[in-house]
Amino acid sequence: MDVNGKVVLLTGGSAGIGRELARQLQAKGAHVILTGRDPERLAAMEADGFAVLAADLSNAAGVDALVAALGDRPIDILINNAGLGVPHDVRDALPDADAADGCLYANLSAPIRLITALLPRLRTRHEAAIINVTSGLAIAPNTASSVYCASKAGLRSYTMALRSQLAGEPIQVIEALPPMVDTQMTADRDTSKMPPQECARQIITALEGGRAEANVGMVKLLRAVYSLSPALARSVMRRF
């Protein structure tokens, strides 16, 4: 797909991977509408020429408010990038169940609800795309982020099913699987991290190339290991 001239709705576009996706898509001629929750970050992106919409996607009302704010604007590409991370480890203390609910909604329910709401207008376009950003952890979970891993695995399954449902229609359905990326969510992780600029570049390359998956960085290796031995892949990831 040539993104020049395309209208993109990008959730979670004011920081991290989303901000880099917005910048690189804009540089290629796309018209980017991005969402976020932080007023200062949204203002900075608006100053850089992006259309911005404040949106809290951790609940149904927030998703519905975003759809209402869009009005009847055409959308060619929907990128479900917004997400929440939450620790959930029962070994030390009982986790926060409400935080888990918010994580599950933002990472799984919100993309499904947004796709359902916007699919009719995507179907009116000559060519369109849906990109769901999951994680390498959707393939094999780590130990401490069990709810986050579950939400991304759920979105991976949904994306694969949606791709089959839309086969024959001019709508690409792409899953982007990043590795550990240097973002606010991973700021406390003392390990090697991919720069968000490179992660965004690889996702856009998959979109332009019509690929069904963007296995970013080390996720390529994880996918290879999993194809040979799912048990080995799971064993490796449980160490993190």
C-alpha 133: how far from chain center: 3
Q: b/e map of 177-208 (b: 16 or more CB within 10 Å)?
A: bbbbbbbebeeeeeeebbebeebbebbbebbe
From the candidates 105, 148, 158, 226, which is the catalytic residue?
Answer: 148
Distance CA 94, CA 167 (A): 43
In one letter, which amino acid is 71? G
In one letter, which amino acid is 47? A
- Catalytic: 226? no
Which DSSP string do the residues of 91-132 spell out, in sequence order? TTS---HHHHHHHHIIIIIHHHHHHHHHHHHHTTSSSEEEEE
Distance CA 208, CA 203 (A): 9
Active site residues: 148
